[in-house]
Amino acid sequence: MPTIRWSPLFEPGCGGWLTSTAVSPHHPKHVLLGGDMLGIGVSTDGGDSWQSTSGLPSWEIADFTFHPTNPRVVWVGTMSGPCLSTDGGRTWRLMRTGFPPVSDWHYSAPVQKVLIDPRDPDHLLAFGGSHRQWYSPGQPLWGAVWESRDGGRNWRRLSTVAPQDPAQPNSPGGNIVAVESAGRSPGVLYVAVVGAGVFRSSDGGHTWQACNKGLPHLQVMDLAVHPRMPRTLWVALSNHQPGQGQRVVPGGVYKSTDAGESWVPCSEGLSTHSSNDPNLTARYEAIAVAPRDPERLFTADTSWDGSALYGSSDGGRSWRILARRQDVEAAYPAGLGATVIEFSPHDASTAFVAGSEYVLRTRDGGRTWTDVTAVRTPTGRWRGRGYSGLCCVNFRFNPRNRYHAVLLAMDHGNFWQSQDGLRSWTWGGAGMPNWGGGNDVAFGDSDGQVMFVTLGQSGVFEGIARTLDGGKHWTILAGSAHGLPERYSRAQPQGIHAASQQEVWAVVGGQLYYTEDGGEHWRIIHEGGELRWITAVPSKPRWFYVCGEKGILVTKDGNVFRPIEGAPTPCTWVEVDPMNPERLYATSWRSPEHGGLWRYDTERWTRLRDDRFIARVAVCPNNPDWLAVPTNDHPYHDICFATGVWISADGGRTWHQQNDGLACLRGEVIAFNPHDPRQVVFGSLGRGYFVGRWRT
């Protein structure tokens, strides 16, 4: 049986939004990391490297909780409910007996955090919410408090944190974005409910009382409790806009010394900038107190123009800036608006902070910071540390340069290239937009100096980027002067193919565009059909196929197109047999009628695998019997339907699941290396890229 053992590709940085990090109370170098679509990474060297984890029902992660005495037992909240690990975070399983039935179309019972009673570790509480404020259709049970008395094997709903209609006791409550217990007392609990403020329970979670006297508004995003004085706590407030167009009230840090009965501001030294735009007004979404030194606190302003990390050494009475973006070397350009902050329980000088696209570590109390998702190589390029958060869109090996490859992803991960056989990576270049997502790349010459990249996501056209010097400088082609849609217009770009430096075809807004002067001027040569991706015959660059909503088109001269009769619709990907350009493979992702993998041979279509979650297909360059397919499923429901990667060594007659080492099973990217055909790359939806070798 063929087998593939997957390892991280080690592309740099995170590229996604981090939601939690935790240092084990049992070992200072045991660290866990979670993200909003990123799943979980585990480190045993303090964050210098990260290993993959498995077993999650989906990959939308919230807070971790380590067992007080057993270092192998960890709980984590997820949008799918509470999950348990009994091996230190490497493997996980969903534990929601007693919760509502699993839903196929929404998150039914999201959990932000699980608390363990230190006096009775079999007594657990789980709190319904999402600090990330992750979207879900339907009516998830926000604000629900769940209790287990048998170590998480069974749960019952204990209460609901307001707002709640007293006439409807089963109605949803508020989104619980932070949870803390008061010291070692299992009876006193604090929660933050975004938009409703702070609530306290004095009876172990059965009843709740609002505690907001002295707060300027109720947009509370995080709280921290003094480790030795349980009546002392701090909260971080986001900003608040009373009405459309009105001046935004800035956020800040507030402190209570009477268990939340009253609050006083602790914002001396913090930015209090205000404007009419919430994104440009000071806001604070995370706060942490050092267990080893309760006078030391960290917080961060997450506004776009003022993002900075702050520290206090006097219990929050005064603050100073620890770092701004220019003070930190990181692989991605996102600011330092940390929404996650965690001190080590072993050392007050060690802490992790995270937000969009980065995780930083300090070991000297905030004087210096290290990006623990990437490291700069001696050549000035970047290499990842094993925890990527990219939502992968495409991967292309340069067919004429064995050392050159390009990965494309959503958001800031739009374009990274390797010129040393996947060992290190360089992002974009001058003129490449920082944000907007990449879709496809076409190589216009033999060494990768000339490239064309389609940019944009979520139906927005960001242009076609062109480089003539290997990515050092880019020109964005868009607008009527080039014969293309205007930049930022509603026209999703997707596939692109180059026959030379001058002749290029690209799909934009479902229509096929053509240029014969290297991208200066484009014209539509085929419209309609809501086209998507282009696959060319390797030795005949003007002979290519284009898939779309209405099936597949073929051209042998780059100009005249005819439909392939009987193709599955919609056709979401098409691949050509490298040994026979008349034989095709096609997928129809999530199509109720045509979903699965299809082969076209001698004018006849055959379904090789009936799985509507198959997203794409790759064919081995020197052995057309070797096929690989990834499965993909969007988030927003309890258990992901994607089942990882499947391969066949006999032309599709039999299939074998190949998920060993994958930290995320959903993804739509799969590619064989034409220069090393046993090497395969898989791109996940949220956990980055993985590489493996096909072994028999």
Q: Which residues contact 250 (CB under 8 A, 6 or more apart)?
A: 239, 271, 272, 273, 274, 281, 282, 283
Number of H helices, E strands in the chain: 0, 58
Q: Which residues contact 571 (CB under 8 A, 6 or more apart)?
A: 532, 547, 548, 549, 551, 552, 586, 587, 588
pLDDT over 90 at 170, yes or no: no
Instruction: Cite the DSSP H helix spans in 306-465.
Output: none
Beta carbons of 626 and 649 less than 8 angstroms apart? yes
Strands 293-301 and 308-312: antiparallel
Same domain, 527 and 673: yes
Same domain, 586 and 482: yes
pLDDT value at residue 14 = 87
Same domain, 443 and 482: yes
Same domain, 343 and 425: no
393 belongs to a structural domain: yes
pLDDT, one tens digit per residue, over 500-559 is 999 999 999 999 999 999 999 999 999 887 999 999 999 899 999 999 999 999 999 999
Same domain, 456 and 414: yes
- Domains contained in the chain, number: 3
195 belongs to a structural domain: no
Strand partners for 555: 544
Same domain, 369 and 394: no
Beta carbons of 418 and 441 less than 8 angstroms apart? no
User: Phi and psi dihedrals of 397, rounded to 5?
Assistant: -85, 135
Q: Which residue range(s) make up the domain with 587?
A: 389-695
The confidence band for 15, taking pLDDT boundaries of 50, 70 and 90, is confident
pLDDT value at residue 60 = 97
pLDDT, one tens digit per residue, over 576-606 is 999 999 999 999 999 999 999 999 999 999 9
Same domain, 408 and 370: no
Helix (H/G/I), strand (E/B), else coil: 325: helix
Same domain, 647 and 682: yes
Q: State the amino acid at position 255 in one-letter form.
A: K
Of the three residues 131, 166, 201, the one that is the final residue of a domain is: 166
Same domain, 415 and 466: yes
CA distances from 188 to 124, 131, 200, 206, 287 (A): 14, 21, 7, 11, 20
Beta carbons of 89 and 663 less than 8 angstroms apart? no
Same domain, 372 and 393: no
d(CA 150, CA 157): 14
H or E segment at 313?
none
Of the three residues 345, 376, 407, the one that is the final residue of a domain is: 376
Same domain, 282 and 393: no
The confidence band for 306, taking pLDDT boundaries of 50, 70 and 90, is confident
CATH of the domain at 614: 2.130.10.10
pLDDT, one tens digit per residue, over 80-103 is 999 999 999 999 999 999 999 999
Same domain, 355 and 406: no
451 belongs to a structural domain: yes
Tell me the pTM. Answer: 0.96
